[in-house]
Structure 1
């Protein structure tokens, strides 16, 4: 992995209808990405209190 890569993919499920979880290495915020065919969307992953899930990222 290059040092300039800001996001790390930590989870993948599916192919045509894919769900992925990405972590921002600078902020630690987790993002949920879902794609279905040619459409897709990205949103912060939230806990039950509505706050973003934050993961400690070790270099």
Structure 2
């Protein structure tokens, strides 16, 4: 959230949390996920699950 704010992107915290729950396979809540927040959640889960792998150009541009 803070990194996005630094870049001028204001995200909906509840939507990010809801998106993260879905990405992690947890029971989703009733709060709707928005596209920007879904993208951030996907990126966060990807970073968490692949932190030990080498950073490649493909990963950076995904």
TM-score band, normalised by shorter chain: under 0.3
More strand by share: 1
More helix by share: 2
- Give TM-score scaled by structure 1 length: 0.23
